[in-house]
Amino acid sequence: MKFENMKIDSRAKTALRKKGFVNATEVQEKVIPVAMKKDVVVQSRTGSGKTLAFLIPIFEGVEGRRDVEAIILVPTRELAQQVEHEARAFAKEFGYSSVCIYGGASIEKQIENLPSTIVVGTPGRVMDLMRRGYLSLNNIKFFVLDEADRMMDMGFLDDIIWIMKRSNERKRIFLFSATMPPQIIGIAHRFMKDEEKFILSEDEITAKGVEQYWISVGEINKMAKLSALIDSEPGKYLIFCNTKRKTQEVAEKLQRFGYKSYPLHGDMRQASRTRTMNDFKNGKINILVSTDVAARGIDVHGITHVVNYDVPLYPKDYVHRIGRTGRMEKNGKSITFVRKDDIEYWERIERFVGKKIKRMKIEGKGRIKERIDYREYANAYGMVRFKFSAPRDFSEWELTKILENGGIKDYHIGSINMQGKEGYVEIHYASAHRVKGVRALKSVQMMR
């Protein structure tokens, strides 16, 4: 259905037209008419167009009084900014006001903009302003929980209930979630009456529209593989690392090789985070390197590739990560870098998603060169086996001394097998790179 054919206010149609929205998505077409009249519980994937599905009914019902008429709770500051940005486009046409409130930014500036018709915020800052007496929800007409399951994951359940209990009992409630854990169902039963449920997508486990792949690569060659991937498949990349430090390192190394890459993590100042997100949305940078926590709530259209630089520790995080691409009926691609030490975690993820994910090889070379990763070729004890030939017969004792003179520590030398002038020796991966430099040996070859 086209928005022009919907029974909604002409000012809303004007805002939609200016934003370039023509056709309603499934969640918008089905939810908007019902949400005009009653509470709704909607299970729908992030990126399915759910923001408009609750904003349009809100603007159909608010009146622009001098108090807060709608509160929209979201899990992260980035999502709060995105939702408020959309709300502001409607507020401009209606002559109403909106404000975004979240931690890590000036509370004084947020207070200056209260009360506003529409308030979009994170639970912590909303509670803070309510306790201080600057934010009252006594007269709200709409209460929205967006990405409710993420808020559960982040420990906001008690905060949500605290806020809910201190708001107008006659409000209309909209609950949107990608999955439906028991806590979400519990909130619906506790605070909603005669709500209508919409199951418009399966749990995010399906990750529809996302081609999933993995490659086998050791730690020291991840950057080389990433470079080769970016050069061979240009696009808009969201890269996930497990730690803030790794996020910073990967982004900076990509920059050194000429890639438009920036990090996003919790240690950054809010102004830097906001600027980075805006540059990523606007296409000034095409590679964003992020942690799981910093990326929660990111809804950027046009992400072509999600790369798991580190295998996530929890299968659910894998699903959340790859769900950042393949949105709004467009296809996307996810690639996970799997080290030998990650196999157990990777198999757990495959069991969680219920299928064997395709293995791929990244052809070609990028700007960053590959190196031999001896750790990936080591056995369970960290030993790498080398086949060698010598100019004459050596005893094991002589060979040990020769290797030590070549800079290999004695405790890095494992078993030795000599047969005439040929044999093999096991060396710990930390010293393996020194073996080929031992001049007393005629030839050395790693046994793979």
Residue 204 has pLDDT above 50, yes or no: no
- Domains for the chain: give ranges and CATH numbers: 3-201 (3.40.50.300), 206-359 (3.40.50.300), 374-446 (3.30.70)
Residue 193: what pLDDT? Answer: 82
Residues 336-358: tens digit of each pLDDT: 999 988 998 899 898 888 789 99
User: Phi first, then psi: what are they for 274, rounded to 5°?
Assistant: -65, -45
pLDDT mean across residues, the chain: 89
Residues 6 or more apart in contact with residue 65 via CB below 8 angstroms: 117, 139
Residues 86-133: tens digit of each pLDDT: 999 999 999 999 999 998 888 999 999 999 999 999 999 999 999 999
CA distances from 446 to 95, 211, 435 (A): 73, 35, 9
Q: How far apart are CA 154 and CA 266, in angstroms?
A: 14
Q: Which residues pair with 237 in a beta bridge?
A: 287, 305
Compute the residue count for the chain.
Answer: 448
User: Token pair 């903009």 is at which residue?
Assistant: 113
Relative to beta strand 422-428, strand 383-389 is antiparallel
pLDDT band with cut points at 50, 70 and 90 for residue 328: low
Residues 6 or more apart in contact with residue 389 via CB below 8 angstroms: 421, 422, 441, 442, 443
Mean pLDDT of the 200-206 span? 54
Buried b (16+ CB within 10 A) or exposed e, 177-211: bbbbeebbeebbeebbeebeebebbebbbebebbb
Question: CA 158, 162, 71: angle at the middle one, nearest 5?
Answer: 110
User: Phi first, then psi: what are they for 258, rounded to 5°?
Assistant: 90, 10
User: Token pair 């990560």 is at which residue?
Assistant: 321
Identity of residue 140: I
Buried b (16+ CB within 10 A) or exposed e, 217-255: bbeebbbbbbbbbbeeeeebbbbbbbebebbbebbebbe
In 10 A of CB 280, how many CB atoms?
24
Residue 297 has pLDDT above 80, yes or no: no
Relative to beta strand 118-121, strand 70-73 is parallel
Residues 6 or more apart in contact with residue 208 via CB below 8 angstroms: 45, 201, 326
Q: How far apart are CA 234 and CA 228, in angstroms?
A: 10
Cis peptide before 115 (omega within 30 of 0): yes
Q: How far apart are CA 339 and CA 335, in angstroms?
A: 13
User: Phi first, then psi: what are they for 270, rounded to 5°?
Assistant: -60, -40
pTM above 0.85, yes or no: no
CA 427 to chain centre: 39
248: alpha, beta or left, given left = phi > 0 and alpha = psi -120 to 50?
alpha
Task: Please give the helix or strand (H or E) that residue 157 lies within, else none.
Answer: helix 157-165
User: Higher-confidence residue: 385 or 329?
Assistant: 385
Q: How far apart are CA 8 and CA 431, in angstroms?
A: 71
Residues 13-34: tens digit of each pLDDT: 999 999 888 999 889 999 999 9
Residue 153 has pLDDT above 50, yes or no: yes
Mean pLDDT of the 239-264 span? 93
User: Token pair 């920036």 is at which residue?
Assistant: 262
Q: How far apart are CA 57 and CA 8, in angstroms?
A: 8
Residue 271: what pLDDT? Answer: 79
Residues 6 or more apart in contact with residue 82 via CB below 8 angstroms: 51, 297, 299
Mean pLDDT of the 189-217 span? 79
Q: What percent of the chain has pLDDT over 90?
A: 56
